[in-house]
Amino acid sequence: MPVVVVANPKGGVGKSTLATNIAGYYASQGHAVMLGDVDRQQSSRLWLGLRPTAARPIGSWETDADAIAKPPKGTTHVVLDTPAGLHGWRFNDVMKMADHIVVPLQPSVFDIFATRAFLDQLAQNKHSEKTRIALVGMRVDARTIAADQLHTFVDQLGMPVLGYLRDTQNYIHLAARGLTLFDVAPGRVAKDLEQWQALCDWLDA
């Protein structure tokens, strides 16, 4: 059972957007997916509460402040949304169960420095050898200097970059209805689905 953890110690980088859409992708493939949220803001859990009954089901993985329990039987895929400042025992628990870690980052100097330190922390963790780790650029406008700086940063890492997702209202409008890119007609979000293709391929590999 693959467990995908979306993590970055920097707040506001798009972790919940990434986590909910990964869960939506798995659901679109017919998997029994659960979405867990260990962030105090509970953004992903709130999103699940907005999800219409007609949409493909995504279960809520109940977690609490003191423990991250194993998902229930029957679950085939798990996505875990994590808080800013992930550290200590919670970081170790997440690393123990993670098969994939997706690290979102935005094209700002603050995100780049925070992400650099987090990637070093991941590399030093004793459980990281069994875990696949990759980056996703979030809210990237390819025409900006910030985007160039982000490209320069990730080129130095020697780590797979699964794509650069554009800054679009599609994510905001869909999230407000508990939906993902994978819940609507492909023609409506064709450009965004194209940007997701490498990430989806990596998740399925």
Residue with tokens 């039987």: 73
CB-neighbour burial class of residue 163 (10 A; exposed 0-12, middle 13-18, buried 19+): buried
CATH of domain 3-204: 3.40.50.300
Domain coordinates in residue numbering, the chain = 3-204
The whole-angstrom separation of Cα 23 and Cα 199 is 12
DSSP result, 98-128: -SEEEEEE-SSHHHHHHHHHHHHHHHHSTTG
- Structure confidence by residue, pLDDT tens digits, 136-156: 999 988 888 888 888 888 888
Q: Please answer whether residues 135 and 108 qualify as being in contact, where contact means their C-beta atoms are separated by less than 8 angstroms.
A: no
Which of 47-51, 83-87, 101-105, 156-160 bottoms out in mean pLDDT, i.e. has the lowest?
83-87
Q: Is the pLDDT of residue 181 over 90?
A: yes
What pTM was estimated for this model as a whole? 0.90
